[in-house]
Amino acid sequence: MTAFIKMHGLGNDFVVFDARDVAINLTAAHAKAVANRHFGVGCDTVVVIRPGGAQTDATLLFYNADGSESEACFNATRCVARLLLNERGLARVKLATKGGLLICSDAGKAAVTVDVGAPRLDWKEVPLAQETDTTNFLLEVGGSSVPASAVSMGNPHCILFVPDAAAAPVITLGPRIETLPLFPNRTNVEFAQVLDQGKIRMRVWERGVGVTLACGSGACATAVAAIRRGLAGRKVELVLDGGSLMIEWREEDGHVLMTGPTATSFSGRLDLDKLTGRP
Q: Which residues are catalytic?
A: 73, 215
Q: Taking the C-alpha atoms of 194, 198, 199 and 200 in order, what is their torsion angle to the nearest 10 degrees? A: 40
Residue type, 279: P
Return the bridge partners of 113, or none: 105, 259
**Whole-Å CA distances, 251 to 44, 75, 219, 228, 255:** 32, 23, 18, 12, 8
Residue type, 173: L
Q: Counting beta carbons within 10 angstroms of the beta carbon of residue 195, is it exposed (0 to 12), middle (13 to 18) or buried (19 or more)?
A: middle
CA 1 to chain centre: 28
Half-sphere exposure of 1 (CA within 13 A, CB side): 6
- CA–CA gap between residue 74 and residue 116 (Å, rounded): 8
- CA–CA gap between residue 112 and residue 105 (Å, rounded): 6
Buried b (16+ CB within 10 A) or exposed e, 79-98: bbbbbbbeeeeeeebbbbbe
Cβ-based neighbours of 91, under 8 Å, separated by 6 or more: 85, 105, 106
Residues in the chain: 279
